[in-house]
């Protein structure tokens, strides 16, 4: 067996600097780092100590001379995650979900508009008659039928002289259910034969209209798009609930909650938390949505009707505003209706009006 020659196994590479030479080189570099030119003034001693400690940590010890070099630590950079990282990530996910929801909503509404255009061309013959509406829609009569007879909803606005039935139409399925259940529910005699003859006469019209509606629904994929919109809205609600359940630990996280509230109609509420919300918005630099309600115009309408606004001082409670109604004795019907309208507007915007009065009166 040949002998092993270990004479030169640990011999230093002549082209590699010695430990002494490497230490001298690092010392010279350190001297350049912590000594400033005279024209730059005196160096900051705290910074000098930090730099000296950083470079000293990079000088390899003799015992580690043969190991892999260790990267120097970076002073002032934390490797810890952001305290509100989950909250920030949830907001980013919510913004993406809102974009998806907006696109799904637009696509669904476009398809629904196309379907509604066909539904509005519903043949007038398919509008259920008053007695048919009562027969299948009233609670008393619905119990007669073993299977519910449901009309198709039509997206039209009926006038005061019309009946709710105007927004409904017979379908082929509903007519067949009515025909098959007429005798068991109503008996063989009386008006039953007349009912059955009428419903059978409507079948060709209803089947043709059903086919037209089904064709446009298939062409527009309205059902699939509606389901996608519902799913997207569900994702948005879940993310909003997740964010509402998180407590912010930093200004960045607090800003997330402020931005969430900024999109809402926060101004319709006037609670003890309103100053807190306004303060959070100011600290985080969040611009809150503002109401477009014209308070001075409403005050002019209220006072024009004879109403008054007075501030009531409370000894043990916060002062409040009192809206005094005008006397309507002998007033015309138009005047009474105007007072009712203006009062209703105040009820809907009481918080906005109250804040404006606090700031301007």
Buried b (16+ CB within 10 A) or exposed e, 157-179: eeeeeeeebbbbbbbbebbbbbb
Angle at 242 between CA 250 and CA 231, to 5 degrees: 140
Is the Cα torsion angle 8, 10, 15, 21 positive or negative in sign? Answer: negative
pLDDT at 109: 95
pLDDT at 54: 44
Please report, in tens digits, the pLDDT of each residue of the chain (361 residues total).
Answer: 455 554 554 555 666 777 677 767 766 655 554 455 555 555 544 444 434 444 444 444 443 334 444 444 444 444 568 999 999 999 999 999 999 999 999 999 999 999 999 999 999 999 999 888 888 876 555 556 667 788 999 998 776 666 788 899 999 999 999 998 888 877 777 878 989 999 999 999 999 999 999 999 999 999 999 999 999 999 999 999 999 999 999 999 999 998 888 777 777 776 677 788 888 888 888 888 777 888 899 999 988 888 888 888 776 666 788 888 888 888 888 888 888 899 898 888 888 888 888 888 7
pTM confidence score: 0.57
Q: Which residues contact 50 (CB under 8 A, 6 or more apart)?
A: 75
pLDDT at 32: 55
Cα(97)–Cα(234) distance, rounded to whole angstroms? Answer: 10
Long-range contacts, stretch 87-94, CB < 8 angstroms, 24+ apart: 87/243, 87/246, 87/248, 87/253, 87/256, 88/252, 88/253, 88/256, 90/239, 90/242, 90/243, 90/246, 90/256, 91/243, 91/256, 91/259, 91/260, 93/239, 94/236, 94/239, 94/240, 94/243
pLDDT at 111: 96
pLDDT at 134: 82
pLDDT at 181: 84
Cα(307)–Cα(339) distance, rounded to whole angstroms? Answer: 9
**Average pLDDT along the chain:** 79
Cα(281)–Cα(257) distance, rounded to whole angstroms? Answer: 9
């Amino acid at each position: 067996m040949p002998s092993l020659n270990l004479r030169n196994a640990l011999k230093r590479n002549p082209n590699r600097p010695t430990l002494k030479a490497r230490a001298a080189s690092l010392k010279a570099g350190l001297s350049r780092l912590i000594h400033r030119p005279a024209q730059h003034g005196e160096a900051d001693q705290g910074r000098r100590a930090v730099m000296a400690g950083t470079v000293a940590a990079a000088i390899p010890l003799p015992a580690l001379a043969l190991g892999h070099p260790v990267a120097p630590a970076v002073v002032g950079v934390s490797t810890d995650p952001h305290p509100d990282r989950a909250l920030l990530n949830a907001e980013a996910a919510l913004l993406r979900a809102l974009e998806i929801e907006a696109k799904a909503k637009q696509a669904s509404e476009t398809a629904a508009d196309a379907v509604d255009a066909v539904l509005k061309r519903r043949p007038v013959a398919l509008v259920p008659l008053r007695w048919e509406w009562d027969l299948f829609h009233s609670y008393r009569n619905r119990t007669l039928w073993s299977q519910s007879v449901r009309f198709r909803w039509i997206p039209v606005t009926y006038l005061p002289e019309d009946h709710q039935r105007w927004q409904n139409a017979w379908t082929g399925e509903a007519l067949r259910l009515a025909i098959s259940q007429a005798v068991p529910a109503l008996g063989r005699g009386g008006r039953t034969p007349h009912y059955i003859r009428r419903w059978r006469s409507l079948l060709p019209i209803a089947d043709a209209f059903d086919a037209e509606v089904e064709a446009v629904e298939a062409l527009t994929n309205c059902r699939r798009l509606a389901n996608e919109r519902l799913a997207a809205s569900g994702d948005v609600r879940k993310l909003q609930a997740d964010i509402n359940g998180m407590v912010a630990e930093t200004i960045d996280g607090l800003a997330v909650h402020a931005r969430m509230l900024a999109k809402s109609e926060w101004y319709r509420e006037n609670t003890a938390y309103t100053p807190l919300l306004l303060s959070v918005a100011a600290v985080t630099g969040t611009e809150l949505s503002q109401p477009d309600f014209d308070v001075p115009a409403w005050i002019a309408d209220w006072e024009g009707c004879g109403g008054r606004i007075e501030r009531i001082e409370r000894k043990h409670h916060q002062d409040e505003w009192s809206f005094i109604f005008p006397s309507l004795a002998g007033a015309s019907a138009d005047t009474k209706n105007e007072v009712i309208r203006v009062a209703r507007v105040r009820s809907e915007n009481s918080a906005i009006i109250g804040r404006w009065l606090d700031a301007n009166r």
